[in-house]
Structures are given as C-alpha cells and as structure tokens.
Chain A
Amino acid sequence: MKTKKFFLILLVILNFKILYAIEPNNEILKNKILKNIRCLICQGQSVYDSQSDFAISMKLVIDQKINEGLSESEIYDYLKDQYGQWISYDPEFNKKTFILWGLPILLFVIGGVIVSKKLIILK
C-alpha cells in the first residue's frame, strides 16, 4: 500500500513538469531569437542570457515586433539594419565575412591534402 502511495505521489509530482513545458508559440520564437542575438554591451553573452539594461529593452522590442506580426527573418533584418551584422550570431556571407566563412573550409581542404599525400607516401 505504501509503495502504491509513493508511486502515486511521484507520478503527480513528475506531471507538474509537463505543465511548465507547454510554452506558447510566440514565447518559443521569442526565446529562439533572443538566443541568436548578441548583447552588444556584454562580454560574450546573448540577449537571452543577459540582464543588462540593453538586453531588457531589447527583449521588450522583440516582443513588440513579434506582436506586430513580423517573421523571424524580418526581425533579424530589422536588428541588422539598426545595429549591423555584429548583432547576429549567424553572420551573412558577404565581402566582409568571406574570410570568416572561407578559412575553416580552406584549412580543412589543406589538411585533407596533407593527410592524403602522407597516406599515398605510406602506401
């Protein structure tokens, strides 16, 4: 009987978690955007993580933009227009960022060539 009671209580407690897990769609979108934008006055923090004045105001503005009906990409474009590419954790490929995107691929190719040459020599 005691075991039954214990499991019943455990079941009830564990189900509370499900209640908290249900987030409205807007909240999911808002959190996704907040995690993808940089807090410009913080050291290595996203707006989502930061409690600075800048981040608190930014959260309000993004909330307003979602309520105005802007899509995720429209909100990123709006922020990039105001603050530049730096605000995004996912910068676009352009003449200023081509080294950022191209260098890892270039290094990977060079590494691949070196490794394959060594393997040919070993054979």
Chain B
Amino acid sequence: MKNKILLSIAIFFLIFCFIILFKSLNNSNVYVPESISGKPLINFDSQDLFSTIKISSDQIFVDSEFYILNIWASWCLPCRTEHPYLMEFNKNSSIKLIGLNYKDNPDSAKKFINKFGNPYSVNIVDLNGTISIKLGAYGVPETFLINKERKILKKIIGPLNKKLVKEINLIIK
C-alpha cells in the first residue's frame, strides 16, 4: 500500500515536471520586464550620424504625437528584414522615427542608409552602447514606441514583423 502511494506521488511529480517543461518550450527565452510600459523615457545626449552635431533628447522628442525609437546597426542582419516596415512607418505623419545607431562604423551606417533608404527623421549614434543600456535595451534591433508625453508605450525586442506592426498601429489609433 505504502509503495503504491509513493509510486503514485512519483508519477504525479514526473507528470507535473513534464507539463512545466513542455509549456516552457513555447515561451520566448527573452525576458521582458513588464514594468517598462508607461515608464518615462530617459534624457540623453548624443550626436547626429550625418552632421556629427551634438544633440540632446530634449531637442529630438518634440513636435510629434508618437515617436518610434529604433536601435539599429549596419552589421545587424535582422535590421535589414525590418527596414521595409520602418519605411512604411515613415509615411505616417503622426509618427516621428528616430534611429539610434548602435556600436557601428559611421561610414558603414551611412552606406546602409543610402542603400536601403532613410526612414528616420533623426539618426543619432551610440558608439559605446551606453545610451541603449540606459534605455533598458538588450541589443539590436530593438524598437520603442513613445507617446508625446515621452512615456514608453511598447518595447519590442528583435526585428519588427507584420504582427508587431499591426499591434503598433492599433496603439496609435
């Protein structure tokens, strides 16, 4: 009798572990803190990619309903796949696109923009990656949707896709 109880406990435990592991297979292994939404955007100073003029976040985040801050690099392959979506966003007058060029060679970044088009109103550089870390980013590509009060509405880790673009459009509407 005792052995039967022990055996059933062991089987129950194994099934429990199996269910947890099986469920976790479908979950993304990228951890995104829930608290990021609604948080105010940090202030930062950088320089323009093309003119190399110093520019602060206060000068960038003005005169628009929504902002999309996209962290990108010319060496990043997924950035190429999401580029057409950014070009689409560029047509929307209520969104201002800001590019944050992450740990890149400025010449390569300029070549990338010349080749694939420039969706950004402002393109700033993050040569040592510290601005991205202060924004709470993991790497490239990463996209932040920000409202006119400079609060983060959504953070997307990885390249944009059709589904994510729809989600952003829904928020904007």
B residues at A contact (CB < 8 Å): 31-35, 103, 128-130, 132-136, 138-139
Contacts and interface: CB of A to CB of B under 8 A. Distances in A.
A90 interface: no
B-side binding surface: helix, strand, loop or mixed?
Answer: loop
A53 B103 contact: yes
A49 B69 CA distance: 30
Interface in A30-82: 40-41, 53-54, 56-58, 60-61, 64, 81-82
A7 B23 CA distance: 65
A60 B138 contact: no
Contacts of A60: 128-130, 133
A-side binding surface: helix, strand, loop or mixed?
Answer: helix
A41 B32 CA distance: 12
Interface string A1-36: 000000000000000000000000000000000000
A83 B128 contact: no
Given A40-B31, A53-B103, A83 B136 contact: yes
A53 B132 CA distance: 11
